[in-house]
Chains A and B, each alone.
Chain A
Amino acid sequence: MNGHRPEYNYAYLDEQTKRMIRRALLKAVAIPGFQVPFASREVPLPRGWGTGGIQVTAAIIGPSDVLKVIDQGADDTTNAVSIRSFFHRVADVETTTDTEAATIIQTRHRIPETPLKHGQIMVYQVPIPEPLRFLEPRETETRQMHALNEYGLMYVKLYEDIAKYGRIAKSYDYPVLVNGRYLVAPSPTPSFDNPKLHQSAALHLYGAGREKRIYAIPPHTDVESLDFDDYPFQPQRFDSPCALCGATDSYLDQIVVDDNGGKLYACSDTDHCRRNHRLEHPDEDEA
């Protein structure tokens, strides 16, 4: 027994499982924003660490793909590195950090700043696919609310925020209405990223492994962030530019730089930041 080491299929998942996931994906694309239940499998990473995204990527990836993996916008965070090397190992696929060169971009919590192109696929790792979950914990109830297009509860929550705080107190995972029909959790991306989903040229696939749901936003689909006429949706803004590249159009991470609470703000999208930096300082070598 000590001798046999198990073998794994191309891209880890067996072909039957891939077919099952592809069927779920097709259904998800056909009904934008609808959460399709799928028989989520175990993958060799802990659940909650991107197993839904990994299964979606494993089901669509082929040897000619170029894969980019980001976590919090960055290519070099440990989980992104780990998932990238996983696919490099099991799918023998070329990987990149360049947003424009990627055919598949698996992500956690961010959409790249570089505009996505036709033919690119975004794969999101989703922790809680149900936008109504924290208003109604029961699956049986929320399923019915979606079926009946009954989203009053969410509007009431947003209204209560305005009544209490003077603004909508939701800064990430800000709910969107897809194709005028289904309420969708954009995975916990910051609301800063919501406008990028509207009429995007790319295909957006969402995989929630632990919760066993897949949903999609096809290219060129209307995606509206919920709001009120007198309180229009406002994505986050930043008062200062990126301290590293000077970008004023990107989402910024706060970085603590010393022991005295000193901090600076820098792009969370490391690829965007590097490219910007190179444009601003063409003669500097990359560190």
Chain B
Amino acid sequence: MYVAVKGGQKAIAHAHALLAKEGRGALSVDRLSVDAVAGQLPVLVSRVMTEGSLYDPDLAARAIRQSQGDVIEAITLLRSYRTTLPRLGYTRPIDTARLTPQRRVSATFKDIPGGQQLGATFDYTHRLFDDPSDVLGDNLAENPQSMPRVTDLLGADALLEPDHPEVWDDPEPGDLTTEPGLFPMSRAGRLQALARGDEGFLLAMGYSTQRGFGNSHPFAGEIRVGEVEIEIDVPGVEHPVPVGRIEVTECQMINQFVGAPGAPPQFTRGYGLVFGRGERKAMSMALVDRALRAEEFDERVVAPAQDEEFVVSHADSVQAAGFVEHLKLPHYVDFQAESSLLRRLRSDPSNSKNSVGGAE
């Protein structure tokens, strides 16, 4: 029986074998080890962990290797594993004020208690190809210690909106990965969505707020990178129990705000937090977080970055990539339906000048 472009089991198996071969490269070169990926591509590993919502550098490195460097594929792999894990409980909120910064900079104050600390950054490097053997040296920060957050200092002066309203019952933040997440969302829910969101998308959205599509007048109040302790409450144990440390990048954006009924002129905040080293994503996230708070401050919602449904519905790279790429799947049936409709419309002479709107 004649079957056009319909492939079977065999075609898929062959395609996968070819994929594996393409990903292996020249056999004379050693296969990339997971340790090499985790150790030498840490920024990529950070991104996969952040957007994959799972802090596991080894598994992320393995995902990157298996996906041949396709970031979204690696994120999908990680998330598809993560979602099958049982939820044993939730940690206590991490305290980034207690984080010992490997890097910490503020663009709003020259002198901050604890000082500015450049740390590992691409800033100020010359983007010239170098010889990797030249750059090794003993230049590690000596004994990093925790430093107060810059926003806490500014807050003491009352120019900055407080961390939370005076009357606040500290609601549970919910969990986007176990609840459907309906609009309108809480800020906590939104931040979860942004943390899982695509770096490129958030970068573009954040950038748009700097170019007049939702004015935000941002300053990088503080960016800090370092390890922070993870603690859980264990029934029967009085104190929280530390279960490990994770590296995070935190960004607090400070935005000018001229005031509105019920809120004095003050600086407002946008917040970004990601796993590992992901400064660009953390900054973009903070810009978008602030833009999405428009309604809270009675600002006019005029730009895409201020529109919660628009941003949150389209930020997830796994969802976006899946739906865009599903266009590769056969659409014979719908296409057939559309073409017979077009033929019928064309055969009707009164329609000769009209055209039918685009397919869905």
Contacts and interface: CB of A to CB of B under 8 A. Distances in A.
Contacts of B1: 244, 273-274, 277, 286-287
A171 B323 contact: no
B303 to A, nearest CB: 16
Interface in A238-287: 238, 244, 251-257, 266, 268, 270, 273-274, 277, 286-287
Interface in A46-65: 46-49, 51
Contacts of A12: 84
A270 B350 CA distance: 38
A38 to B, nearest CB: 6
B329 A49 contact: yes
Nearest to A273: B1
Interface stretch (B89-97, B127-135, B160-168, B338-346): B338-346
Interface string A1-44: 11000101100111011001000000000000000011111111
Contacts of B332: 72, 253-254, 268
Contact of A41 (B83, B336, B345, B350): B83
A165 B333 contact: no
A48 B325 contact: yes
A236 B12 contact: no
Interface in A170-212: 171-173, 188-192, 210, 212
B290 interface: no
A39 B80 contact: no
A9 B2 contact: no
A191 B337 contact: yes
A137 B308 CA distance: 13
A76 B83 contact: no
Interface in B318-338: 318-319, 321-326, 329-334, 336-338
A251 to B, nearest CB: 7
A47 to B, nearest CB: 3
A133 to B, nearest CB: 9
Q: How large is the interface on A (under 10, 10 to 19, 20 to 34, 35 or more residues)?
A: 35 or more
A76 B354 contact: no
B243 interface: no
Contacts of B262: none
B336 A254 contact: yes
Contacts, number: 184
Interface in A146-182: 164-167, 169, 171-173
B6 interface: yes
Interface in B1-27: 1-4, 6-9, 11-12
Given A48-B326, A253-B336, A212 B7 contact: no
A251 B325 CA distance: 26
Interface stretch (B41-49, B174-182, B213-221): B174-182
Interface residues of B, number: 65
B237 interface: no
B26 to A, nearest CB: 22
Nearest to A169: B356
B356 to A, nearest CB: 5
Contacts of A273: 1
Given A1-B34, A42-B80, A251-B333, A78 B12 contact: yes
A73 to B, nearest CB: 6
Given A39-B180, A165-B345, A85 B9 contact: yes
A38 B12 CA distance: 32
A138 B333 CA distance: 28
Contact of B344 (A77, A137, A167): A167
A245 to B, nearest CB: 9
B329 A188 contact: no
A94 interface: no
B76 A165 contact: no
B86 A236 contact: no
A8 B84 contact: yes
Contacts of A244: 1-2
Interface in B75-116: 76-77, 79-87
Contacts of A238: 340
18 contacts: A1-B58, A43-B80, A72-B330, A74-B3, A79-B330, A137-B309, A139-B182, A167-B344, A171-B334, A171-B338, A171-B341, A190-B337, A210-B319, A210-B322, A212-B181, A236-B340, A253-B333, A268-B333
